[in-house]
Amino acid sequence: MTKTRILNPTRFPSPKPLRGGGDANFMEQLLLHCATAIDSNDAALTHQILWVLNNIAPPDGDSTQRLTSAFLRALLSRAVSKTPTLSSTISFLPPADELHRFSVVELAAFVDLTPWHRFGFIAANAAILTAVEGYSTVHIVDLSLTHCMQIPTLIDAMARRLNKPPPLLKLTVVSSSDDFPPFINISYEELGSKLVSFATTRNITMEFTIIPSTYSDGFSSLLQQLRIYPSSFNEALVVNCHMMLRYIPEETLTSSSSSLRTVFLKQLRSLNPRIVTLIEEDVDLTSEGLVNRLKSAFNYFWIPFDTTDTFMSEQRRWYEAEISWKIENVVAKEGAERVERTETKRRWIERMREAEFGGVRVKEEAVADVKAMLEEHAVGWGMKKEDDDESLVLTWKGHSVVFATVWVPI
Amino acid sequence: MTTEDQTISSSGGYVQSSSTTDHVDHHHHEHDSLNPPLVKKKRNLPGNPDPEAEVIALSPKTLMATNRFLCEICGKGFQRDQNLQLHRRGHNLPWKLKQRTSKEVRKRVYVCPEKSCVHHHPTRALGDLTGIKKHFCRKHGEKKWKCEKCAKRYAVQSDWKAHSKTCGTREYRCDCGTIFSRRDSFITHRAFCDALAEETARLNAASHLKSLAATAGSNLNYHYLMGTLIPSPSSQPPPSFPFGPPQPQHHHQHFPIPTTTFDHHHHHQDVMKPASSLSLWMGGNINHHQQVTIEDRIAPQPHSPNEDYNWAFGNANNRGELITTSDSLITHDNNINIVQSKENTNAATSLSVPSLFSSVDQITQDANAASANMSATALLQKAAQMGSTSSTSPTTTITTDQSGYLQSFASKISDQSNQIVEDGGSDKFFALFGSNSVELMSNNNNGLHEIENPRNGVRVVSGIDELHNYPWKRRRVEIGNAGGGGGQTRDFLGVGVQTMCHSSSINGWI
C-alpha cells in the first residue's frame, strides 16, 4: 500500500463547484424559488432566477441540465402567461423542439427504446392471457397512451397457444386524442386495419372498433357503449389501462367528492370485466400547489432524462421533447389544460380497492419474462415485486418508475 | 417518489489508495510505462483523440490490472466503472448525490503498449481505458475463450460471452430489412410494417382463388377448409437453412369462401366497421411470383402472410414456419436478404450507451441539507460566491465590468445586510456557468447596453451521437475496438460546457 488518503465522502475532494456540470439539488432549489417568485408575482426575482438557471442549465448540457432546462422553459411559460410583458425581456431560450409525429413503425421502435412501456405490456399481456383461458370471445378495451402498441404481442401470444382454437378477438379503442404526446400520423381506422391484417396472418379473427369518447368526461360514452354492448356467450371483457387513466380529471379538478376518476372506476366495475390491468407512472403530479408539484415532477422526470444516454440524438430529442411537454403541462398549465394528473401507485390501489376490485398477482413466468427483457436494456433498469399489494414495479437505479397491477372484480 | 434522502455518514474516514484510483487522484499517472506521457499531439486521422487530451501510456501489466475503480464510500475495488456505479447504488445515495465527482484533469487517451501496433502511436490513441484494454487483449492477447458451438475464439471474456449468447440463437428479420434481437419488438414492428400492408393489399387485390398447390412455397402452416379455419400444429420444424428453398410445409387445399365472420375487404384502407376483418388470400398471385414450382424453389413473395422470420442462423421456431428471405420480388438466386434497414428503424433497434452511469461527472455541493432550505437570495449569492472560488476557466474575454455587474446583481436581491463576497476573480463566475456566450449588460452605463461575448473554443460535445453508435447489450452489431469508448470520448467532464443562449437580452432589466 503506497499512499493513502482519507476522504470524507460528504465533501468531495475538489473545491471546484459546478463548472457546467450540474448540481441537481442546487438547480432544484432555484427552480422552486423561481416558482414561488412567479406565483407571488415577483417579476424581478423571477427574471433573475430564470437568467441564472439559463446559465447553469443549457438545453444541450448533461442530463441534469437538460432536465432543468425543461423546467426552466416551463416556468418561463408560466411566468409569461401571468405577466405577458415578461416575454420581451426573456428571449434567451431557443424555441423548444417540436413534438414528432410518429409513423406507427417509428412508434413501435420508440416504445421499445427503454422498458418504460414494454414492462407494462409484458405484465399485462401475461395476466390477460391467463384470465381469458377458456373464453371463446375476448373483448379488449385498450386505453393506452401508446396507440395499441401492446396489441401485436398479445395477438401473437394468443395465436401461439397450442392445441386450442384461438378466440374471437374484439378490440375496442377510443378515438385518438391529439391532446398529448405521442402523436401518430395515421388515423385509428388505418391503424386498426393494420392490426386486423396482422391478426389474420396469425389466424386470429379480429374486429376493431373505435368509439368516440374522451378522457375529459371520464370516458363516459365509452362506458355507455360498453353497457349497451351485446356481448356473446362466453365472452371475456378485458380493460387494459396503460398510462391513460391519469388524464381523467380527479378531485383537484372536479372538486366534488366524487370525481370523474371515481365515477369511471365505479362504472367500470359495474360492467363486471373479467380483468382490468392498470399500468401507470408512480408519481404524484396532482398537487394544487405549484411548488409541491414542481418538486414531485423534478424528482421524477430526472429519470427519463437519465435514461436517454443510450439513445441516438434524434430519438433523444423526440423523447425529451415529449417529456418536456409533460413538464410544461404540469408546471405551466392550470385547470382543465393541465391534463397530466398522474397519481402514485398507492393512490391508484386505494381507488381500485374502493371501487371493489381486488389485486391479482402476476405469474412467475411473466416476472421472469420481464426480467429477461430488462437484461437487454441498460444496467440501471430493475424491477421489484411488492408482495403486500401484488404489484410489479419497474425501477431505474433503484427508483420507482412504472407500476403494473392487475385487478378482478370482488 | 420514494427517494430516501439519506445523508452520507461522515463518521470515520475512507481510505483510498491513490495509486490505483482513476478519478479522485487527479495528477497521478500510472507510469510503469514504456514511454513518458506525451501531450498536445496534433489531431490527425478521423476518429482520433482530442488534441487537447493527455496521452497516457501504460504497461501491459498495469493495463491489465484489475480493480482500478474504487468506491469512495467503502473502498471496494472494481474492474469496471459501471460495476462501481452499480455498487454505489447499494449505498443508497440520493439520486442527486449519485453524480460522480468531476474530473479535474484533461481528458485522457491511452496508447497501446505493443510497439508494432498502430495504436501505439499517440496520434492513434484510444479515448477510453476499457477500450484500450480490450483492444490490447483482442489484438495482442491470447485467445483463451472459445465458443462451444462454433470455432470462434476470443481473447476478451465479454466478447466471448456476447458471442455465445447470440451464436446459433435467433434473430428476427422483417421483410423491410430491419433486424431485431427481441421477439416482441419484432412482432410489434411486423404488425405495423408496410411490408405487411403491401402484401395483404396485393393478395386482396387478386381476389380469386388460387390453387394453393401452385404456391406451396408459401409459408402457411394451417389448413383452410371451406368456411372454417383450422390451425394445424406443425409437427416438425422446417429444414434449417437460412437461405434457399425450403420444402413446402403443407399443401393448402382450398381457399376459404368467406363466411359470415369475414367481410371481404379488397382494400385495406376501407373504413373499418365494427365487424370487419381482412381476409387473407393464401394463394397470392401467381404472376407475382417469378418462380413458382413446388419442389425446389421458394416462391419469392414480398411478404409471407405468416410469421416472417428470417432465420439468420438457421434455427427453427416451434411453429415450423418458413423462412422468408426475399425482400421483394427478387429471384431465387438472391434469396439473401440484404439488410438495408431504414436508418430510423435500424437506429432505433440498436441501443447505444457511451457510458452508463453519470456520463457527466459532476461536483455536488455540500450535502443536501445545506442547500435544502436556502432562500433565493442566499442561493444566488452562493452562485456568485462559487464564481469567486473557481480557479480554472476556459479563457474568456469577459470584462470585469460584467462580473461586477453580476456581483451587484447578487447584491440587489439580497438583503442589505448581507455581505457579498467580492474578490478579484469575478470573471470566474461566468466561466463557472459557462456563460461565455451570454450577452450581458455592462455595468458601466446605467443604460441598456448589450455586449456580446465571443465564444471560446471549448464546446460541449454532447452532440456527437455518431459515436454513441455502439449497442449497449449485444443487440446485433459487434463492438468494434477502435471507436473505443464510443460516447465515452465525449466531454463528460463538463469542461467544455457552454451555454448556447445567444440572445440573452436583458433589456429592461434594471
User: Quick one: what percent of chain A has pLDDT higher than 70?
Assistant: 92
Of A45, A205, A210, the CB nearest to B277: A205
Q: Does residue B355 belong to the interface with chain A, where contact is any CB pair within 8 Å?
A: yes
Q: Do B95 and A168 touch (CB under 8 A)?
A: no
DSSP assignment letter at A98: P
**Which set of grid coordinates corresponds to residue B43?**
489531431
By three-state DSSP, how is residue A399 classified? strand
DSSP assignment letter at B455: P
**Which set of grid coordinates corresponds to residue A90?**
426573456
CA proximity to B172, closest of B324, B4, B3: B324
**Which set of grid coordinates corresponds to residue A31?**
427552480
**Residue B313: phi, psi to the nearest 5?**
-110, 10
Q: Do A112 and B182 touch (CB under 8 A)?
A: yes
Q: Do A92 and B501 touch (CB under 8 A)?
A: yes
| pLDDT at residue B198, as a whole number | 65
CA distances from A393 to A282, A321, A383, B8, B220 (A): 9, 25, 6, 26, 39
Element (H, E) at B426: none
The runs of H, that is alpha helices, within B96-193 are 129-140, 157-166, 183-192
Q: How far is B156 from chain A (nearest CA, A)?
A: 20
Is the complex ipTM higher than 0.95?
Answer: no
Is residue A60 over pLDDT 80? yes
**Which set of grid coordinates corresponds to residue B376?**
433565493
CA proximity to B202, closest of B86, B289, B312: B289
Task: Give the model confidence (pLDDT) of A283-316 as tens digits.
Answer: 999 999 999 999 999 999 999 999 987 788 888 9
Contacts of A309 in chain B (CB under 8 A): 353-356, 359, 487
DSSP assignment letter at B352: B
DSSP assignment letter at A364: H
Q: How many CA atoms lie within 13 Å of B411's alpha carbon, on the beta-carbon side?
A: 12
Could you report the average pLDDT of every consecutive run of 10 residues in chain B (510 residues)? 40 37 41 44 47 74 71 81 82 65 59 77 72 73 73 70 66 87 92 75 55 43 40 42 41 40 40 40 40 39 42 40 38 38 39 39 43 71 62 39 44 42 40 38 39 36 35 36 42 47 41
pTM of the model: 0.57
CB B449 within 8 A of CB B468: no
CB B494 within 8 A of CB B361: yes
CA proximity to A246, closest of A300, A283, A209, A276: A283
Q: Do A313 and B371 touch (CB under 8 A)?
A: no
Contacts of A196 in chain B (CB under 8 A): 272, 276-278
Q: Does residue B65 belong to the interface with chain A, where contact is any CB pair within 8 Å?
A: no
| pLDDT at residue B143, as a whole number | 75
Q: Are strands B145-146 and B153-154 parallel, antiparallel or unpaired?
A: antiparallel
Cα angle B344, B349, B351 (rounded to 5 degrees) comes to 110
**Greatest mean pLDDT among A13-22, A87-96, B96-105, B392-401:** A87-96
Of A25, A45, A61, the CB nearest to B376: A45
Q: Do A64 and B24 touch (CB under 8 A)?
A: no
Q: Do B18 and A19 touch (CB under 8 A)?
A: no
CB B217 within 8 A of CB B306: no
Q: Are strands B450-451 and B223-225 parallel, antiparallel or unpaired?
A: unpaired
**Greatest mean pLDDT among A38-47, A263-272, B50-59, B388-397:** A263-272
Q: Are strands A391-396 and B69-70 parallel, antiparallel or unpaired?
A: unpaired
Segment A307-335 shows an average pLDDT of: 91
Q: Do B353 and A310 touch (CB under 8 A)?
A: yes
Segment A237-256 shows an average pLDDT of: 91
Of B192, B271, B272, the CB nearest to A104: B192
Distance between CA atoms of residues B182 and A374, nearest Å:
11
A219 alpha carbon, distance to own chain's centre: 18
Cβ neighbours of B68 (radius 10 Å): 22
Segment A213-222 shows an average pLDDT of: 95
Task: Give the model confidence (pLDDT) of A170-199 as tens digits.
Answer: 999 999 888 999 999 999 999 999 999 999
| pLDDT at residue B234, as a whole number | 41
B295 alpha carbon, distance to own chain's centre: 45
Distance between CA atoms of residues B39 and B183, nearest Å:
49
| pLDDT at residue B199, as a whole number | 63
Cα angle B213, B217, B222 (rounded to 5 degrees) comes to 70
Using CB atoms and an 8 Å cut-off, which of residues 388-447 of chain B contact chain A?
Answer: 389-393, 409, 413, 431-435, 438
Of B181, B191, B409, the CB nearest to A152: B191
Is residue A130 over pLDDT 60? yes
| pLDDT at residue B113, as a whole number | 81
Contacts of A205 in chain B (CB under 8 A): 229, 261-262, 277
Q: How far is A46 from chain B (nearest CA, A)?
A: 10
CB A9 within 8 A of CB B73: yes
- SS3 per residue for A302-354: HHHHHHHHHCCHHHHHHHHHHHHHHHHHHHHCCHHHCCCCCCCHHHHHHHHHH
